[in-house]
Amino acid sequence: MIAPWLGETWTRLVGLGERLPHALLFVGPTGLGKRALAEALAARLLCDAPAADGRACGHCAACQWRLSGNHPDLHVVIPAADAEEADAGEGEAAREQGATKAKSSQIVIEQIRELQSALTVTGHHSARRVIVLDPAEAMNAFTANALLKLLEEPPAGCVFVLVSSAPRRLLPTIRSRCQQWAFARPDEAALAHWRAHAGKDAAALLAVGGGMPLAAERLAEAGGAALLDRFVRDLERLEPPGALRLAGQWEAWLKAKESAAAGFGLPQLIGWMQRWVSDLVALRLGGRVRFFPAQEGLLSALASRTSVASASNCYNEFNQIGRVAQHPLNLRLVLEDMLLRYVKVMTGARE
Ligand SMILES: [Zn+2]
């Protein structure tokens, strides 16, 4: 599905026709629909008879093949952990494997080698082969270099679509091989349209998620409203001496199966904390809350306990934590650190 706010980007992509470069890089924040657009483009390129608006027809032999997940000329390269997520609940074998061995959250060198050997064979159905790689930043230097070789000397008919929400973490040589497409957040009009059709939960989760509609929708469907409730309740009750205890509870919370199933992990939790504190700063400066409109009363009470300096300092510290906490060595320590910094804010007015 192509998100409504990506319609214009889609039209421009389709408009390139034969001038489409052999390597594209879609960049922009998570939750905008970059991956879905990459897959729609792949589908179009492989389809025997695309529709007038450029979309794959969904009926031809190539589309049937693709829809059954078996198109030999479509290569979706994603970390094993993401593939497992997509298959969740689909069979005993996958679950058993998952239980015995934690899947990699990185794209590993074997995947690029497999891709390389698959691409040395000519296309099966048509002359075209499409490779969707997401997230492109999830590769170590060796793997990235192997991919770079493919990009430098692409086998005939190949189109690479790389997707990244952190393009600065890509090798500059990979970036320069790709035509970059920056995906911006939807504007207010597009969001208003989306809100009118989304449920109440999705709208609340959109506010705290920083304006990424698809991420909010996914989270709402997976019970995100309950997660948000708990987050607010925990912070409402938190008194400074309870910070370490709450860190322990949050560790268990993040490790619970339900949280993983909802795609709710440390990065999301840190994001919520950042926006929570950002709202405190806004209130302290005499502004309005932006991310937690339903909690304005509680936030105002909390804001009266802090100072602008203390809260904005904490906000900057959370930014730092967010940058290094993608794959923390010790989840508990990150949570303790974050909550201790936060409770310091609550005593900041006296500083
Ligand atoms: Zn088709």
> Tell me: the pLDDT tens digits for 69-126?
889 899 999 999 888 666 554 444 444 444 445 678 899 999 999 999 999 876 566 6
Which pairing describes strands 23-27 and 74-77: parallel, antiparallel, or unpaired?
A: unpaired
Alpha helices in the chain (DSSP H): 7-15, 34-46, 61-67, 80-87, 92-100, 109-120, 141-152, 172-177, 188-197, 200-209, 213-221, 224-237, 243-255, 257-261, 266-284, 296-303, 308-324, 331-345
Burial class of residue 225, CB neighbours in 10 A (0-12, 13-18, 19+): middle
Same domain, 29 and 171: yes
Q: How far apart are CA 39 and CA 327, in angstroms?
A: 27
Residue that terminates a domain, selected from 160, 182, 204: 182
**pLDDT of 62 higher than 80:** yes
Predicted local confidence at residue 99, as pLDDT:
44
CA 49 – ligand 1 centroid, Å: 5
pTM: 0.69
Same domain, 153 and 232: no
CA 130 – ligand 1 centroid, Å: 15
Same domain, 159 and 270: no
Same domain, 127 and 175: yes
CA 63 – ligand 1 centroid, Å: 4
Same domain, 257 and 328: yes
Residue that has been written with the tokens 């804010």 in this structure: 345
Which pairing describes strands 129-133 and 158-164: parallel, antiparallel, or unpaired?
A: parallel
Does residue 191 contact residue 161 with C-beta atoms inside 8 Å? no
Higher-scoring residue by pLDDT: 218, 177 = 177
Structural domains of the chain, count: 2
CA 4 – ligand 1 centroid, Å: 21
CA 1 – ligand 1 centroid, Å: 15
CA 48 – ligand 1 centroid, Å: 5
CA 57 – ligand 1 centroid, Å: 4
CA 61 – ligand 1 centroid, Å: 7
Same domain, 175 and 235: no
CA 43 – ligand 1 centroid, Å: 8
CA 59 – ligand 1 centroid, Å: 5
121 lies in some domain: yes
Domain assignment of residue 231, given as a range: 222-350
CA 113 – ligand 1 centroid, Å: 29
Write out the E strands in the chain.
Answer: 23-27, 74-77, 129-133, 158-164, 179-182
214 lies in some domain: no
CA 62 – ligand 1 centroid, Å: 6
Report the range of poorest mean pLDDT among 29-33, 36-40, 133-137, 334-338.
29-33
CATH number, domain of 169, equals 3.40.50.300
Q: Give the closest residue to 320 by CA, choosing from 349, 290, 341, 305.
A: 341
Predicted local confidence at residue 85, as pLDDT:
62
As a whole number, the mean pLDDT across the chain is: 87
Predicted local confidence at residue 100, as pLDDT:
43
CA 36 – ligand 1 centroid, Å: 17
CA 34 – ligand 1 centroid, Å: 21
Same domain, 162 and 267: no
Does residue 283 contact residue 249 with C-beta atoms inside 8 Å? no
Same domain, 262 and 161: no
CA 47 – ligand 1 centroid, Å: 4
Same domain, 70 and 171: yes
Residue that terminates a domain, selected from 127, 150, 182: 182
